Structure formats: C-alpha cells, structure tokens
Amino acid sequence: MTRRVVICCGSGGVGKTTTAAALALAATRAGRRAVVVTIDPARRLADALGLAGLTNSPSIIDGNWPGELYALMLDTESTFNGLVAKYAGSQEQADKILANRFYRNISGALSGTQEYMATEKLFELYEETDFDLIVVDTPPTRNALDFLEAPNRLARFLDHRLYRLLTAPTRGIVKAVNVAAQGFLRSVGKVVGGEVIADAIAFFVAFEGMDEGFKDRAKRVDRLLGSDETAFVLVASPRADTVEEASFFAGKLGEHHITVEALVVNRMHPDPGAGNPLADRKRAETFAGTTLGNLYTALADLRTVAQGEAEHLADLSERIAPAPVQRVPLLPFEVCDLDTLTRFGDVLLGSR
C-alpha cells in the first residue's frame, strides 16, 4: 500500500465498508496517518468503529498504534454547500443558491450526487490535508460506474443547452427562442406545478458564472481518479452475481485506463479439500438417517458451494491478473468494533 488514495468499490453487501476501514486501520498500525471516508447511510463503519455518529470532517479514532486513524461519514448536502461557498463570487450569490429549492433537490436527491460528493470529499482531503493515505468506501450502487463518472456528471448537467435556453432572458439573447421555450415550460408546469419551474430558472440564474469553476474542478478530480496515486480495490463476495458485477466493473475500469490494484473476496466458504460433492451426496444417501449420513450431507453441501465459488472466481482472477486476489473466509465473528476490525484486517492482509 504505497498509494495515497485507495478506492474500494463493488456491489452492496459484500463488505466494502469493512474492507475500507480495515485497510485504513492496517496503514495506521504500520505507522501511517490514514483517513477512511465512508458513505453508507447505514452507518456500518460507525458501528465498526464504535462511534455513535461520525461527522463530515475527519475525527480521530483512539487506539494503541503508531500511526493515526481518522474517519468521517460523507454528508452529501454539506459537502455540496461547501463547494458552492467555495466557488460563489460573493456571499450573496452563495446564499441565493443555498436557499433555492431546486438547488436543495440537486444537493440532496439528484441521482449521482452522492457519488459526486464522495469524489469531491476525496479531492478536498487530497488537496487540503496531509494524510498519508485516504481510503474511500463507495456508495452501494448497482452501477459502480456512477462513481467513476460522477465528477463529470454535474458539469454536463450544468452545461445542458436547455438550461442555456432557460437562463437566456438574463443574457438578453434572441427572444424568439425564449417564447417557444415558454410554451413548453407552461405544459411542463401543468405536470409538476409552475413553482418548480420558477425555482429551476432562479437556480440557473443564480448559478451563472460558477459553472466554469465547477467544471474545472471536475476535471481535476477526474485526473486524480486516473492518476498513479490512486488505487482501485475491487471488493466482491464469491457468489455468481457479485462476481459478475465485479467483472463488469473491472472491464469498465480498463476502458478508463485504470488498473485494478487488488481484488478482495469476502465471505469465502472454507475448502474441505479435493473431492467430488456428488460422491459425497451419494454416500449421504447410502447412510441416510445415521450420523455418518449427516456428516456426508454437511460435506457435500460445503463442497458444492466451495467449488462453485472457486469456479466463479477463476475468470475474474485471470481478468485482473497480475493483481492479487485476497480471499477472506467467512469469519466466526462479526466485525463490530476495533478489536474485530483488527482481526479482520489481519486475515485480509495475512492471506497475501
């Protein structure tokens, strides 16, 4: 782990948050100053770290280690507000935007805003702090690509020609275009109410002049995601569907010329050694009703799953080679505090 930024991605429920926290903790134990950014609204990391509520800025986690461990929980809205304040030409402009309802919808609910703000937070930490390592947990999304494309999403949104049309009156451009737009807007108003449209227009008027700053920043964030300082760690569980998702994401990263640093596969069933589950099943039937029969059933069950998991992982491992695959077995404990997180980290990094 010599990179400065590590991004953990994968589908929901595969142990992404735990993996991210364990990586940050491991760096801390190796003497580094690390911060982990978590996004999951379920507050799983907060649970894992024994914190009631993490805030939007890094707070230190107390522990007996040579480095320093910080954690924060992304607050999408206040991160966005901070960004507006940063790029507004004046306090007045910032206030106008922050009070606008349309803006509040964008900052709270626009699909992809969470992903965008996660990258923004990452960039802010990268630019403004001196952490040795920033580990980012990504939102549990079905489409992991949202994260990668997040920086450019808002830039595109603000660049749309329709908004140019909407904001045209203030710029005094051709009136005729505007009349046509008005009729259209009236119809849309019938559906969602005229106020909503008025809010939208007011937002774009207030936002004028800030889009360049936003777009420029988006480009810099994008560059950081693709730079050598950033490592992507894929997290998956060994079930067919999440492996497929991880495969898909690995392919997309490739298209963006980003290599996968490592694949972490959590919750692997233990391998009971070479053998044929069908033969075990047959023995279970032969001895049905006896203790030996039950023992064979347990073995056949386990072998079926373990062999299936190994098969699913074979293709993906090949695809991301030479990146290492870290297999983490189903553990006999839940990661719910620093102690169990440390033990999880030992297993995660020990299997290298």
User: Which residue, 5 or 49, is less far from other proteins as judged by CB?
Assistant: 49
189 contributes a contact to other proteins by CB under 8 A: yes
Q: H or E segment at 136?
A: strand 133-137
Contact track, other proteins, 304-343, x by CB under 8 A:
xx--xx-xx-----------------x-x-x-x-------
- Which residues 273-302 are close enough to bind other proteins by CB under 8 A? 273, 275, 287, 290-292, 294-302
User: Which residue, 60 or 330, is less far from other proteins as judged by CB?
Assistant: 330
Q: How far apart are CA 198 and CA 190, in angstroms?
A: 13
Q: How far apart are CA 21 and CA 71, in angstroms?
A: 8
Structure-token pair, residue 130:
């001196």
Q: Which residues contact 196 (CB under 8 A, 6 or more apart)?
A: 101, 102, 189
C-alpha of 154 from chain center: 17
101 contributes a contact to other proteins by CB under 8 A: yes
Contact track, other proteins, 33-72, x by CB under 8 A:
-------xxx-x--x-------------------------
Q: How far apart are CA 311 and CA 243, in angstroms?
A: 10
Among the listed residues 60, 109, 173, 321, the single contact to other proteins using CB under 8 A: 109
Structure-token pair, residue 73:
């929980």
User: Which residue, 3 or 283, is less far from other proteins as judged by CB?
Assistant: 283
State in angstroms the smallest separation of the CB of 227 from other proteins.
30
- Which residues 198-257 are close enough to bind other proteins by CB under 8 A? 199-200, 237-242, 244
Question: Interface with other proteins by CB under 8 A: which range of 75-83, 116-124, 155-163, 227-235?
Answer: 155-163
Tokens 């980003």, residue? 258
Structure-token pair, residue 254:
């490739």
111 contributes a contact to other proteins by CB under 8 A: yes
Q: How far apart are CA 108 and CA 87, in angstroms?
A: 19
